[in-house]
């Protein structure tokens, strides 16, 4: 193996640049030429490849987003698109690929390996922390700290006015962000996709807090009742209680990565290079109990990673 490529795909996550930098630095020291694919799978198909070196990857550790850019590519979902990508990889002499992203990225990597035999390993880059087989993902730590900082500020004004606030955080399929920031910020109620939200229980929690007191409700966007806006409407229609709604949205994806995410990105990047050199493919390079692990890609989506029940219980005990 002489030349490898790295790309970022799907939603951007703080720490991806630390990951790219580690792949380049470790790859160089292992005697490899490292190529950056610009723009995810779309760039892979279009032939947007550039050589990475120490200069290209300098001073990117503290930058949010991804210097390699990212995209979502409907074309790559088709066999014809994947064939085009494989043709480009071979034309550029790529011997192995490191794919940093989430569930969709890993599906694509798995298909590329099965259909075209391109050696490829995945690294978990998503703020949702929803990939099975790894304790945490690149970007998650930064995202929860960003969300917690915003919620702390909202809590100040909610306390001053004695208002009910519904605050929606990201997490379509998993409530890790919602649960962690809910506990960290002292929310009176946390709604996550893993549990059914009982509006009557929520109302009783608001009453217990005091109708003239500050009440913070954290809602994961994947909640089965439809998110913060819908929960707010139901509370108003059933019980006549007005509220304020804040949707934190993409603020959770941006910003300078935390130390934890920089170190995690570096560890996973270095381990991914070594995995390719050792002949591994179709696996995710993750972390479990602070040790690097290799997990078959298909297991990362076939087995669902959910918020632990003890955290759900803790969020109610702390109210």
User: Mapping DSSP to helix (H, G, I), strand (E, B) and coil, where does residue 73 land?
Assistant: coil
189-191: strand order across its sheet: 189-191, 215-220, 164-169, 244-247
Q: Kindly report the CA angle at 207 between 203 and 208, in degrees rounded to 5? A: 115
Q: Name the residue among 309, 279, 316 with its Cα closest to residue 4.
A: 279
Q: Kindly report the CA angle at 5 between 114 and 48, in degrees rounded to 5? A: 100
Task: Tell me the C-alpha to C-alpha distance, in Å, between residue 316 and each of 183, 188, 289.
Answer: 9, 8, 27
Of 53, 95, 128, 152, the active-site residue reads 128
How far, rounded to the nearest angstrom, does the alpha carbon of residue 82 sit from its chain's CA centroid?
24
DSSP 8-state class, residue 1: -
SS3 string, 163-225, reads: CEEEEEECCCCCCHHHHHHHHHCCCCEEECCCCCCCHHHHHHHHHHHCCCCCEEEEEECCCCC
Task: Tell me the C-alpha to C-alpha distance, in Å, between residue 202 and each of 164, 168, 194, 232, 277.
Answer: 12, 15, 16, 11, 53
Q: Is residue 128 flagged as an active site residue?
A: yes
Q: For residues 205 and 211, give the distance between their C-alpha atoms in angstroms, rounded to a whole number.
A: 10
Q: Which residues are catalytic?
A: 128
């Amino acid at each position: 193996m002489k030349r490898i490529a790295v790309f970022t795909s799907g939603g951007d996550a703080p720490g991806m640049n630390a990951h790219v930098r580690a792949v380049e630095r470790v790859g160089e020291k292992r005697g490899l030429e490292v190529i950056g694919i610009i723009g995810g799978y779309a760039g892979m198909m279009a032939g947007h490849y550039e050589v990475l070196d120490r200069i290209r990857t300098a001073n990117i550790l503290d930058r949010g987003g991804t210097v390699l850019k990212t995209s979502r590519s409907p074309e790559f979902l088709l066999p014809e698109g994947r064939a085009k990508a494989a043709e480009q990889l071979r034309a550029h002499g790529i011997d192995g690929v490191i794919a940093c992203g989430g569930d969709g990225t890993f599906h694509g990597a798995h298909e590329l390996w099965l259909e075209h035999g391109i050696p490829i390993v995945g690294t978990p880059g998503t703020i949702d922390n929803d990939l099975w087989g790894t304790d945490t993902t690149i970007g998650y730590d930064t995202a929860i700290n960003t969300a917690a900082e915003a919620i702390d500020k909202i809590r100040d004004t909610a306390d001053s006015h004695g208002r009910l606030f519904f605050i929606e955080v990201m997490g379509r399929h998993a409530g890790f962000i919602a649960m962690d920031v809910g506990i960290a910020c002292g929310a009176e109620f946390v709604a996550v996709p893993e549990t059914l939200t009982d509006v009557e229980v929520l109302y009783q929690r608001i009453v217990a807090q005091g109708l003239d007191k500050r009440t913070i409700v954290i809602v994961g966007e994947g909640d089965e009742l439809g998110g913060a806006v819908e929960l707010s409407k139901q509370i108003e229609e059933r019980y006549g209680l007005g509220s304020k709604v804040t949707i934190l949205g993409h603020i959770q994806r941006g910003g300078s990565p935390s130390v934890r995410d920089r170190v995690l990105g570096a560890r996973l990047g270095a381990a991914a290079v070594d995995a390719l050199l050792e002949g591994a493919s179709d696996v995710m390079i993750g972390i479990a109990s602070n040790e690097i692990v290799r997990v078959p890609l298909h297991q990362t989506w076939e087995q669902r990673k959910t918020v632990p029940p003890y955290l759900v219980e803790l969020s109610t005990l702390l109210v």
